A and B are shown apart, each in its own frame.
Chain A
Amino acid sequence: MTREEIRSEIIAICSREFEMENPDPEDDLREKFGFDSIDGIELLIQIEKMLQTELTQEEKKQSLNIRTINQVCDYIETIMKAREG
């Protein structure tokens, strides 16, 4: 998956699952859309489905600091690289 494909997929998930209207990749999801820890769980479940892999404890812990869609994309790219390596 390219960076652009990942971003499109995450924006689609945000619109479909979290009822966000036109989210900007740099929007703070917590501040602008009230994204909470349970939403975080749902997003991680969607990422697991997308990558067809289970996240490790360490990877779940790394997700705690994510605030924006661009950071979600960075996070997914890091996981993909780790899986390839």
Chain B
Amino acid sequence: MPRKTTRTAVDLLITLLLWAYYFAAFVFFFFPAYGAAALFASDREHAFQNLNCIFYRCFFAYLKLLMPGVTISIAPEVYAVRSSIVIANHLSFLDPILLLSLFRQHKTIVRSDFFKVPIFGWVLKSAGYLSPSLAQDSDAPDLMEQVKAMRAYLASGGNLFIFPEGTRSRTGAIGPFEKGAFTIAKLCRAPVSVLRIENTHRVYPPDSFFFKTGETVEIRISLAGSIEPAPKNETICISDMMRQARALLEGTGTHKP
């Protein structure tokens, strides 16, 4: 069999095994845990976020088992990020689930239509994830109430992570930012922690169904810097925050971890 065909067959097999994890691990191990959390947890959102974190930690452990060439290096200061709006560059579908696996107390913004998916939507909603839509006739949670409650959530140590580019970069260059993450940071007077993600696209490229399994790849996440909120009596300029965040991600800003 030609080498390329063998490589494609291995990529397909490992991709199917990884997707099978989603189904099997959820049905046989995690669904009962989510059910128990829904029934008995005193803080349901936190319990669901914690379970999601564990679910994806197991996913990445399994991925590393199937793809021994892949290593994941997380800078220690990334784990220490708390009470922040966390933004990062976006290279691959792996990015959001990698961030989910890092923080036990986390929220993120998820496409509104995902909330309509049976069971999956219930997990998202129970974890307190936000929908970018204001529409109240959907199954999505009430964004306005969630934003109002965000300051208390952040004060309790939680993180909200958002990819301000809104879509994956096909070139590695940082695309234009949407300002939602910075508006929420301003409303909550919260710090913005800027993470730099590297090489996830080499494991699961955008626009591909297959994981690329044959390469030796080190996925890295580092803290590019933080933008502290302005004092209470000072006006916060969103465009300044966006410029600072871009400079940090592009490596031209001041590093203030």
A contact set with B: CB distance below 8 Å: 16, 19, 34, 36-42, 44-45, 55, 57, 60-61, 63-64
Nearest CB in chain A to that of B238: its residue: A19
A19 touches B136 (CB 8 A): no
Q: Pick the contact of A38 from B136, B184, B235, B239 — CB < 8 Å?
A: B184
Give the 10 A-B CB pairs with smallest separation, nearest first: A38-B180, A38-B183, A41-B147, A61-B136, A41-B144, A57-B136, A37-B134, A37-B132, A64-B134, A40-B134
B183 touches A42 (CB 8 A): yes
Q: Pick the contact of A16 from B147, B184, B235 — CB < 8 Å?
A: B235
Q: Pick the contact of B144 from A36, A39, A60 — CB < 8 Å?
A: A60
B135 interface residue, CB < 8 Å from A?
yes
Cα–Cα distance between A21 and B237 once the two chains are bound (Å): 13
Nearest CB in chain B to that of A64: its residue: B134
New A-B pairs, 15, CB < 8 Å, besides A36-B180, A64-B134:
A36-B179, A37-B133, A37-B134, A38-B147, A39-B183, A40-B134, A41-B147, A42-B183, A45-B144, A45-B147, A45-B148, A57-B142, A60-B142, A61-B134, A61-B135
B187 touches A37 (CB 8 A): no
Cα–Cα distance between A19 and B178 once the two chains are bound (Å): 15
Q: Pick the contact of A61 from B137, B178, B187, B238 — CB < 8 Å?
A: B137
Does more than half of chain A's interface fall in helix, strand or loop, or is it mixed?
A: helix
Chain B CB within 10 Å, residue with most, of A38, A39, A42, A64: A38
Query: Min CB distance, B140 to chain A, in Å?
Result: 11
B134 touches A41 (CB 8 A): yes
6 A-B contact pairs sorted by A residue (CB < 8 Å) = A38-B132, A41-B144, A42-B183, A44-B144, A57-B136, A60-B136
B219 interface residue, CB < 8 Å from A?
no
Instruction: List CB contacts (< 8 Å) of B127-147 with chain A.
Output: 132-137, 142-144, 147
Q: Pick the contact of B134 from A19, A34, A60 — CB < 8 Å?
A: A60
Q: Pick the contact of A37 from B136, B143, B235, B238 — CB < 8 Å?
A: B143
Are A41 and B143 also in contact (CB < 8 A) when A60-B134, A61-B135, A64-B135 are? yes
Query: Min CB distance, A50 to chain B, in Å?
Result: 15
Nearest CB in chain B to that of A38: its residue: B180
Nearest CB in chain B to that of A35: its residue: B179
A-contact 0/1 string along B180-215, CB 8 Å cutoff: 100110010000000000000000000000000000
Q: Which residues of B contact A41 (CB under 8 A)?
A: 134, 143-144, 147
Q: Which residues of B contact A42 (CB under 8 A)?
A: 183, 187
Cα–Cα distance between A63 and B142 once the two chains are bound (Å): 14
Instruction: List CB contacts (< 8 Å) of B217-257 with chain A.
Output: 235, 237-239
Cα–Cα distance between A60 and B136 once the two chains are bound (Å): 8
